[in-house]
Amino acid sequence: MTSPESGFFGRLNWDALPIVGLIQDPNANEIVANTAAGIVIVGVVAVVSLLTWFRLWGPLWRDWLTSADHKKIGIMYIVFAIVMLARGVLEGVVMRAQQAAGPGDGFLEAEHFAELFSTHGTIMIFFVAVPFVFGIANFVVPLMIGARDVAFPVLNQISLGLTVSAGMMLMVSLVVGEFSTGGWTAYPPYTGAAFNPGVGPDYWIWAIVVSGVGTTLTGLNFAVTIYKLRAPGMKFMRLPMYCWTIICSSILLIFAMPPLGVAALLLAADRYLDFHFFTNDLGGNMMNYANLFWLFGHPEVYLLVLPAYGIYSEIFATFSAKRLYGYNSLVIATMSIAIMSFTVWLHHFFTMGQSALINAVFGIATMLIAIPTGVKVYDWMATLWRGRIRFTVPMLYGLGFLMLFVIGGLSGVILANPTVDYQVHNTLFLVAHFHNVLLPGVLFGLLAAYNYWFPKAFGFRLNEFWGRVTVALWTIGFMLTFLPLYFVGLMGMPRRSFSWEDPSFHPYMIVAVIGALVILAALLSVLAQLWVSIRDRGKTMAPVGDPWDGRTLEWSIPSPPPPYNFAIIPQVTDRDDFAAAKEQGRAYPKPEAYEDIEMPRNTGIGFILCVLSGVWMFALVWWIWWLAILVTALIVLAIIVWSFDTSTELVIPAEEVRKEHEAWLDLVHASTAINRDHETASENRGLARPDLEAVT
């Protein structure tokens, strides 16, 4: 619906700033909106000032923004995800507070509440879960398979740039204009031009399209990396379980992101060009959208949870000092889940009106997925059985996961029954269910991974006390917030209600808001743990690189790893190769010869595309056509110019590699090996003495 009246800046004018609303009509709703916008602005100003004050612009550009090193890109993904997590959690707390205010009461307007649940969902899925999952994968996967980088390092950088610029659009929408009120699924016709002519759905569309492109390319990159760059001898059945889950997750990205892109782009065609894909009139069919969206949406939840399964598999094996039980069955279960996740999308719209036969087929397919998942749970428990178990922070997350995730999984099996689904569809029961799988499933897994691999990334361990506090707060906060929602859901409270009337909901709502505050405390304690750990890092240094008596290749190199990861590409002869090497006394070999190593040179293309795509989205949202066309041309030009650059490799001379590697080997031989009793003590420098009583 292009409007002829749009001027030089399209439909952008001063009314787009929230402060204007506050001046015209000061109330609680406007204060909340302006506080949010204020936090964004203050945050940006603070970061810019700090960088300038400490003269960090140069190092930031040289060492981070232009780096094609998978480890740094992974860390940047995780930082981005944690920033977005903070916003998502705050929004959750505000929503819980609104619903706890009492029947018919509250401080937010309906539109504002709708904006909150839309951004909360969009952020948590696309800008927390996905970047966090692939941030961890970025850091870990090449180290685990014995590679020096991912298959396409520059593409990796571009993926990061696109994801971040799309996430920034959500931040911009707080300050300029407003975000969609159509939920994270953005169902038309509500989000179509007829009912929603504003900028909200457009922010959603372009953020989804751009981050979708970035994510698809990430999937491609990791599928090819694991397929092609494994160290010699690492056959598929020697691949660490985590890498198996990442390859399945990548395959899901490759095939499941296109439906989302199609759904969003067709919605854009409806809104911008007056097409009739999902409109009410002239043959449009909104049911096509629901179908497309969930063709993506269902594989999406598995591509988030499978890597978490992989993380737990590594953690249970390491902290039980045992080989993972039932490796083959876990591989088969992972593959089955990946393929079956393409056959169940209809269970998200059982109530749309298709025949009972179709509902039954998809309902049964959904229930079947519980089988491979159940296999996994038993395999993990069998891994723990008679292991040398240490209750470290990652292990505590893992145990919390085992207990709580089963509840979430079982409520999923209940929902898979179409007749039951008709009763609880669109109630808080569903909200309780998916938070129950996403928090203990995905988020606990990611936080466990963060604690587990942090010493590999930075050379020192995270504070154990604050880690335990964090685990306790997340677990209690989760249970208080979401378990009550099962009950109010069954009592009939619809999801996404900004106001309600039935007084019997009130006690549950009060418990839920207390839980939300505990989750907020959990988020703060994540930051406190990081702060304390950095302050006391002298006591937790583990430069040798193997603080947990690890089993896979990433523990066989220094912490933090050198830019080229492996001085010599390892020869793999076993599953859990490093554990086997330590047992057979062939760990830390002295190489006979070193070679020159070619590494990707720094490049600015990722950053350039990040900025350009950001401007492109903004121009499209606000109908600034000349700018959109200009930036499109610039993006094509930037890619073409970049393709002429042939000096993309940097050679690290063999002599330098030898010097660094031998210095580290000297450190290894000078360090005292510690056994598992002293794992969290300060004498743990990262050299492990395997416990004799725990034999594989």
DSSP secondary structure, 477-535, as one string: HHHHHHHHHHHHHHTTPBTT-S----GGGHHHHHHHHHHHHHHHHHHHHHHHHHHHHHH
Nearest CB to other proteins, comparing residues 152 and 179: 152
Residue 443 tokens, joined: 């988020």
Exposure b/e, 343-357, CB count within 10 A at least 16 = b: ebbbbbbbeeeeeee
Distance, CA of 450 to CA of 452 (rounded, Å):
6
Is 493 in contact with 430 (CB distance < 8 Å)?
no
CA-to-CA separations, 491 to 192, 230, 498, 504, in angstroms, rounded: 32, 53, 17, 9
Q: Is 46 in the site for other proteins (CB under 8 A)?
A: no
Q: Is 189 in the site for other proteins (CB under 8 A)?
A: no
Q: Is 255 in the site for other proteins (CB under 8 A)?
A: yes
In the complex, minimum distance from the CB of residue 563 to other proteins, in angstroms, rounded to a whole number: 19
Distance, CA of 243 to CA of 454 (rounded, Å):
18
Q: Is 123 in the site for other proteins (CB under 8 A)?
A: no
* Eight-state DSSP code of residue 645: -
Coil, strand or helix at 321: coil
Q: Is 573 in the site for other proteins (CB under 8 A)?
A: no
Contacts of 696 (CB under 8 A, 6+ apart): 322, 323, 576, 579, 583
Instruction: Give the residue ranges of DSSP H helices in 151-192.
Output: 153-175
Q: Is 352 in the site for other proteins (CB under 8 A)?
A: yes
Stretch that binds other proteins, among 66-74, 276-284, 454-462, 653-661 (CB under 8 A): 276-284
Q: 404: alpha, beta or left, given left = phi > 0 and alpha = psi -120 to 50?
A: alpha
Stretch that binds other proteins, among 6-14, 163-171, 342-350, 599-607 (CB under 8 A): 342-350
Strand partners, 7: 10
Query: Which residues 365-404 are close enough to bind other proteins by CB under 8 A?
Result: none
Considering only 8, 282, 328, 693, the residue that binds other proteins (CB under 8 A) is: 282
Q: Is 497 in the site for other proteins (CB under 8 A)?
A: no
Nearest CB to other proteins, comparing residues 223 and 473: 223
Q: Is 596 in the site for other proteins (CB under 8 A)?
A: no
In the complex, minimum distance from the CB of residue 251 to other proteins, in angstroms, rounded to a whole number: 8
Stretch that binds other proteins, among 5-13, 36-44, 277-285, 303-311 (CB under 8 A): 277-285
Considering only 37, 123, 241, 262, the residue that binds other proteins (CB under 8 A) is: 262
Q: Is 269 in the site for other proteins (CB under 8 A)?
A: yes
* Residue carrying the six token digits 């610039």: 634
Q: Is 538 in the site for other proteins (CB under 8 A)?
A: no
Q: Is 47 in the site for other proteins (CB under 8 A)?
A: no
Considering only 229, 437, 448, 688, the residue that binds other proteins (CB under 8 A) is: 229
Stretch that binds other proteins, among 308-316, 352-360, 448-456, 479-487 (CB under 8 A): 352-360
Q: Is 3 in the site for other proteins (CB under 8 A)?
A: no
Is 141 in contact with 225 (CB distance < 8 Å)?
yes
Distance, CA of 23 to CA of 33 (rounded, Å):
12
In the complex, minimum distance from the CB of residue 433 to other proteins, in angstroms, rounded to a whole number: 23
Considering only 174, 193, 292, 581, the residue that binds other proteins (CB under 8 A) is: 292
Considering only 76, 95, 241, 346, the residue that binds other proteins (CB under 8 A) is: 346
Q: Is 277 in the site for other proteins (CB under 8 A)?
A: yes
- Kindly report whether the peptide bond that precedes residue 560 is cis, defined as omega within 30 degrees of 0: yes
Residue 229 tokens, joined: 């760059």
Q: How many of the chain's residues bind other proteins (CB under 8 A)?
A: 52
Considering only 104, 353, 538, 585, the residue that binds other proteins (CB under 8 A) is: 353
In the complex, minimum distance from the CB of residue 275 to other proteins, in angstroms, rounded to a whole number: 4
Q: Is 227 in the site for other proteins (CB under 8 A)?
A: yes
Q: Is 345 in the site for other proteins (CB under 8 A)?
A: yes
Closest CA to 556 of 592, 655, 567: 567
Considering only 98, 291, 540, 552, the residue that binds other proteins (CB under 8 A) is: 291
Please tell me the total number of residues recorded for the chain in this structure.
Answer: 696
Nearest CB to other proteins, comparing residues 276 and 323: 276
Is 401 in contact with 325 (CB distance < 8 Å)?
no
Is 478 in contact with 515 (CB distance < 8 Å)?
yes
Nearest CB to other proteins, comparing residues 298 and 551: 298
Distance, CA of 6 to CA of 178 (rounded, Å):
18
Q: Is 197 in the site for other proteins (CB under 8 A)?
A: no
Q: Is 29 in the site for other proteins (CB under 8 A)?
A: no
Distance, CA of 434 to CA of 347 (rounded, Å):
13
Stretch that binds other proteins, among 116-124, 341-349, 619-627, 686-694 (CB under 8 A): 341-349
Considering only 78, 295, 443, 522, the residue that binds other proteins (CB under 8 A) is: 295
Is 116 in contact with 108 (CB distance < 8 Å)?
yes
Q: Is 232 in the site for other proteins (CB under 8 A)?
A: yes
Q: Is 223 in the site for other proteins (CB under 8 A)?
A: yes
Query: Which residues 134-153 are close enough to bind other proteins by CB under 8 A?
Result: 151-152
Q: Is 274 in the site for other proteins (CB under 8 A)?
A: yes
Considering only 107, 272, 275, 487, the residue that binds other proteins (CB under 8 A) is: 275
In the complex, minimum distance from the CB of residue 284 to other proteins, in angstroms, rounded to a whole number: 5
DSSP secondary structure, 104-138, as one string: T--SS-HHHHHHHHHHHHHIIIIIIIHHHHHHHHH
Burial class (CB in 10 A: 0-12, 13-18, 19+), 273: exposed
Nearest CB to other proteins, comparing residues 76 and 292: 292
Residue 73 tokens, joined: 């890109």
Distance, CA of 217 to CA of 69 (rounded, Å):
16
Is 241 in contact with 324 (CB distance < 8 Å)?
yes
Q: Is 284 in the site for other proteins (CB under 8 A)?
A: yes
Distance, CA of 24 to CA of 336 (rounded, Å):
57
Stretch that binds other proteins, among 47-55, 191-199, 282-290, 325-333 (CB under 8 A): 282-290
Q: Is 266 in the site for other proteins (CB under 8 A)?
A: yes
Coil, strand or helix at 407: helix
Residue 203 tokens, joined: 């922010």
Coil, strand or helix at 674: strand
Q: Is 185 in the site for other proteins (CB under 8 A)?
A: no
Is 527 in contact with 542 (CB distance < 8 Å)?
no
Query: Which residues 637-656 are close enough to bind other proteins by CB under 8 A?
Result: 640, 643-644, 646
Distance, CA of 149 to CA of 158 (rounded, Å):
15
Q: Is 221 in the site for other proteins (CB under 8 A)?
A: yes
Q: Is 254 in the site for other proteins (CB under 8 A)?
A: yes
Binding string to other proteins for residues 602 to 641, with x set by CB under 8 A, is what? ----------------------------------x---x-
Is 348 in contact with 184 (CB distance < 8 Å)?
no
Considering only 285, 499, 573, 675, the residue that binds other proteins (CB under 8 A) is: 285
User: Torsion over CA of 457, 460, 466 and 470, rounded to 10 degrees?
Assistant: 10
Catalog residues that contact other proteins under the rule CB under 8 A. Answer: 151-152, 216, 219-221, 223-224, 227-229, 232, 251, 254-255, 257-259, 261-262, 266, 269-270, 273-277, 281-285, 287-288, 291-292, 295, 342-343, 345-346, 352-355, 358, 636, 640, 643-644, 646
